[in-house]
């Protein structure tokens, strides 16, 4: 007996006969119809009954069975025999693969390290091979990891999938591309439906350039969902025709919002500091005003990218100390160019018992974050550099003792700006409430640098402070101040603490009054909307009068209605405190930053401050940066990679958007550039045993 026959018992004709002919005869003779016998053969678990056009009798249908594994159609004998079904399963490769795959039906993916995109969900595989599901997963792999469509035609890719399941059939790159486009449309429909349940959406707009000098406009939607989770989704990545004027940008944004049907939900738009963006905002403001759906009359519509401003501040400072930074940069280049030098330097590190797990980082000119890390690593290996300099007569860039002290001060200032930029560039948590707590540290660090005795540091501080004051000097960002107040760790106390450091004594009283008045005015809008909603609810309740008390059985219901009226009268006579007042009077939360989730706090306390919670959800959804953490420290702009540049703009948009939707909106990337320009200090092998990196 074969293996298949051992696992699947085949029924005899008498066992499988359902008595169809006998039942028909009984019906003709007027006898009561006998109940149809149940299907007992286990083979029915692997086949399903279908109706197909009859080949013998034109225009009629006949019953057949279809193999669930491969889709082959087999006859269904009137006698009820199923032996030929079993013979089919013995030869069916798809069925054999399914039996082998039943050993494991659940695969759990866990990240090896704290990855950016988060842990992959558990994948429950069905008990049978589903080619449509496999192709969908291949599409998601291609989209998320930015792989070419032609990967499905790679020989060893197909060998791998065939080994995993012999029923896998190769598909072409054209087919998988079409599958990706269909996935884009289906995911887009799901996102559209989710937007219907969102009150306000904030946008960030950014321009990208391909290597073919094609300009793309990225539009990202930020919002807090019903579960108080921060969400961000790329809703547009379209080609922008030149010239890239404010009119062109405004029209592109308007068309996108209309296509998504969210033009009445926009709270704010965050741009970088280009002049054409200012023009675009003015045009959008006029369009939204005509619709009458602007949030707070458009006072908070335009926000400037804070990470971009910090980048400008740092770049102005680094220009002043360029020659000073060059000494460290040339030192690292000199050591890196030769294996023998790297070997000697590693030996010096070991002799000084320094941590060999660190790296000597060589910066990238357009990434000031890497410059900060370069100074940090150089200062860590300062003693090793001094020892190396004493033994190499050709080395000419050794910093002096005074210059090492300058590097330390510069590194301290850049560290403050680096921390602020990283916080501002987050996409999985609110950032508007973090502006003033971090920006006041930046202001204090620049003031401290300005008081330095070293003239070069004073000049650096002056250049940075000039740029800082240009954007954040006289003006107060009221929206970010309100967001800070809505952080239960800060409330009004943080504003009273930070504003004296940000503004002069003459400006301070006016700034505080502006923040408080705007806070109450904005709350009044939400309170009015809440009262209107409650009024409508009361009118609905009034149409359902209390049950008459004429009958003794209704006396209990009558008493309950009278009690409700009494409670309403008492509430009207002694109204409760407004949410805002109660919130401000309650003590601040004393929680360590690493243990605090502001959105979860509001989720738990929504019942205590129902009106203020609605306002907090809209205010905290406003981002203060347009860029991900990967490009926040860059002065080189955002560039579309070579592979995507070779695709049609419509395909690029589908891939970028769908990738964002699949990954849940996270669009930050690990900083690989710094690692690629680092000198690992792990090996002390002789230079001859190490591959040649370069020679001088």
User: Is residue 32 classed as helix, strand or coil in its secondary structure?
Assistant: coil
Closest by Cα among 54, 52, 87, 89 to 68: 89
3-state secondary structure of 266: strand
Residues in the chain: 696
Q: 398: which residues sit within 8 A by CB, 6+ positions away?
A: 327, 331, 385, 386, 389
What was the pLDDT predicted at 543?
54
Cβ atoms 388, 340 nearer than 8 A: no
The neighbouring-strand residues paired with 218 are: 206, 237
pLDDT of residue 255: 96
C-beta separation of 463 from 457 below 8 A: no
Phi-psi region of 225 (alpha: psi -120 to 50; beta: other; left: phi over 0): beta
Q: Please choose, from the candidates 223, 393, 414, 216, the residue with its C-alpha nearest in 3D space to the C-alpha of residue 311.
A: 414
User: Are 657 and 188 spatial neighbours (Cβ–Cβ below 8 Å)?
Assistant: yes
Q: Under a CB-based contact definition with an 8 Å cutoff, are residues 589 and 489 in contact?
A: yes
**Per-residue pLDDT reduced to its tens digit, 346-368:** 999 999 999 877 888 888 877 88
Looking at every residue in the chain, the average pLDDT score rounds to 82
Alpha helices, DSSP H only, in 261-355? 275-291, 306-320, 322-336, 339-351
**Cα(363)–Cα(240) distance, rounded to whole angstroms?**
33
How far is residue 638's CA from residue 653's CA, in Å, rounded to a whole number? Answer: 15
What pLDDT sits at residue 17?
A: 42
Asked if residues 203 and 268 have their Cβ atoms less than 8 Å apart, the reply is yes
Cα–Cα distance for residue pair 53/375, rounded to 1 Å: 78
Whether residue 417 contacts residue 314, with contact meaning beta carbons closer than 8 Å, is answered with yes
Residue 490 burial (10 A CB sphere; 0-12, 13-18, 19+): buried
Distance in angstroms (rounded) separating the CA atoms of residues 74 and 98: 20
d(CA 32, CA 25): 10
**Beta pairing partners, 236:** 219
In whole angstroms, what separates CA 265 from the centre of its chain? 20
Shortest CA distance to 312 belongs to which of 217, 407, 421? 421
Helix ranges restricted to H, 166-305: 173-195, 246-260, 275-291
d(CA 633, CA 631): 5
Secondary structure of 60-115 as H, E, C letters: CEEEEEEECCCCCEEECCCCCCCHHHHHHHHHCHHHHHHHHHCCCCEECCCCCCCC
Q: How far apart are CA 265 and CA 586, in angstroms?
A: 31
Between CA 117 and CA 124, with CA 123 as vertex, the angle to 5 degrees is 165
Tokens of 672: 């690989």
Name the pairing type of β-strands 106-107 and 215-224. unpaired
Integer Cα distance of 570 and 563 in angstroms = 11
pLDDT for residue 82: 85
Q: Which residues of 20-57 are buried (b: 16+ CB within 10 A; e: fewer)?
A: eeebeeeeeeeeeeeeeeebebebbebbeeeeeeeeee
Q: Give the DSSP H/E element, type plus range, for residue 219.
A: strand 215-224
DSSP string, 523-572: HHHHHHHHHHHHHHHHHHHHTSPPPPSSSGGGHHHHHHHHHHHHHHHHHH
Nearest CA to 623 out of 382, 407, 305 is that of: 305
Structure tokens at 390: 């004493």
Low-confidence ranges of the chain (pLDDT < 70): 1-38, 100-128, 536-561, 563-576, 628-643, 665-696
CB-CB contact of 210 with 643 (8 Å): no
Domain assignments of the chain as residue spans, ordered by start? 3-91, 106-184, 309-473
Contact 109, 123 (CB under 8 A): yes
What pLDDT is attached to residue 15? 39
Cβ 373 vs Cβ 692: under 8 Å: no
DSSP 8-state secondary structure symbol assigned to residue 44: G
Q: Is the peptide bond before 243 cis (omega within 30 degrees of 0)?
A: yes
């Amino acid at each position: 007996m074969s293996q298949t026959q051992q696992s699947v018992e085949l029924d005899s004709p008498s066992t499988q006969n359902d008595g169809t002919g006998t039942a028909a005869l009984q019906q003709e003779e007027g006898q009561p119809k006998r109940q149809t016998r149940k299907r007992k053969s286990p083979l029915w678990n692997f086949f399903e009954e279908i109706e197909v056009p009859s080949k013998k009798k034109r225009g009629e249908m006949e019953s057949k069975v279809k193999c669930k594994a491969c889709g082959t159609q087999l006859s269904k004998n009137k006698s009820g025999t199923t032996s030929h079904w079993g013979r089919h399963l013995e030869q069916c490769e798809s069925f054999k693969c399914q039996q082998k795959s039943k050993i494991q039906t659940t695969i759990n993916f866990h990240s090896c390290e704290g990855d950016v995109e988060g842990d992959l969900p558990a994948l429950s595989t069905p008990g049978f091979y589903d080619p449509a599901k496999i192709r969908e997963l291949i599409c998601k792999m291609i989209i998320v990891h930015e792989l070419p469509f032609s990967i499905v035609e790679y020989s060893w890719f197909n060998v791998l999938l065939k080994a995993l399941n012999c029923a896998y059939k190769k598909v072409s790159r054209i087919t998988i591309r079409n599958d990706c486009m269909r996935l884009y449309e289906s995911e887009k429909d799901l996102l559209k439906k989710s937007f219907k349940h969102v009150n306000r959406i904030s946008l960030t707009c950014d321009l990208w350039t391909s290597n073919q000098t094609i300009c793309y406009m990225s539009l990202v939607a930020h919002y807090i969902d019903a579960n108080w989770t921060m969400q961000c989704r790329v809703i547009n990545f379209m080609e922008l025709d030149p010239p890239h004027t404010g009119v062109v940008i405004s029209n592109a944004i308007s068309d996108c919002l209309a296509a998504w049907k969210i033009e009445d939900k926009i709270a704010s738009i965050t741009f970088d500091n280009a002049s054409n963006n200012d023009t675009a905002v003015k045009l959008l403001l006029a369009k939204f005003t005509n619709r009458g759906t602007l949030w707070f009359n458009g006072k908070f519509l335009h926000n400037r990218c804070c990470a971009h401003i910090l980048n400008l501040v740092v770049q102005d400072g680094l220009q002043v100390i360029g020659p000073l930074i060059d000494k460290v940069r040339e030192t690292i280049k000199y050591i890196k160019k030769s294996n023998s030098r790297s070997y000697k330097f590693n030996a010096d590190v070991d002799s000084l018992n320094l941590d060999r797990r660190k790296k000597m980082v060589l910066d990238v000119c357009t990434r000031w974050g890497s410059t900060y890390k370069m100074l940090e690593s150089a200062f860590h290996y300062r003693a090793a550099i001094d020892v190396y300099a004493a033994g190499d007569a050709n080395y000419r860039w050794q910093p002096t003792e005074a210059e090492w002290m300058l590097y330390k001060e510069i590194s301290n200032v850049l560290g403050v700006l680096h921390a602020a930029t990283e916080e501002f560039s987050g996409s999985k948590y609110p950032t508007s409430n973090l502006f003033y707590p971090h920006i006041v540290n930046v202001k204090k660090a620049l003031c401290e640098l300005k008081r330095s005795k070293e003239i070069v540091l004073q000049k650096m501080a002056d250049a940075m402070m000039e740029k800082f004051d240009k954007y954040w000097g006289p003006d107060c960002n009221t929206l970010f101040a309100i967001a800070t107040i809505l952080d239960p760790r800060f409330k009004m106390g943080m504003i009273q603490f930070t504003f004296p450091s940000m503004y002069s004594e003459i400006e301070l009283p006016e700034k505080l009054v502006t923040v408080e008045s705007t806070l109450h005015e904005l709350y009044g809008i939400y309170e009015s909307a809440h009262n209107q909603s409650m009024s409508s609810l009361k009118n609905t309740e009034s149409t359902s009068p209390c049950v008459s008390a004429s009958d003794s059985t209704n006396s209990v219901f009558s008493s309950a209605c009278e009690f409700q009226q009494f409670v309403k009268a008492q509430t009207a006579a002694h109204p409760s405190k407004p949410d805002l007042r109660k919130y401000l009077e309650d003590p601040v939360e004393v929680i360590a930053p690493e243990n605090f989730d502001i959105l979860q706090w509001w989720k738990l306390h929504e019942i205590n401050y129902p009106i203020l919670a609605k306002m907090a959800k809209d205010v905290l959804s406003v981002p203060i940066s347009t860029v991900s953490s990967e490009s926040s420290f860059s002065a080189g702009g955002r560039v579309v990679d070579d592979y995507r540049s070779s695709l049609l703009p419509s395909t690029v948009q589908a891939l970028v958007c769908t990738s964002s939707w699949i990954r849940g909106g996270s669009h930050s990337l690990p900083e690989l550039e710094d690692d690629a320009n680092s000198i690992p200090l792990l090996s002390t092998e002789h230079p001859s045993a190490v591959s040649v990196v370069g020679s001088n």
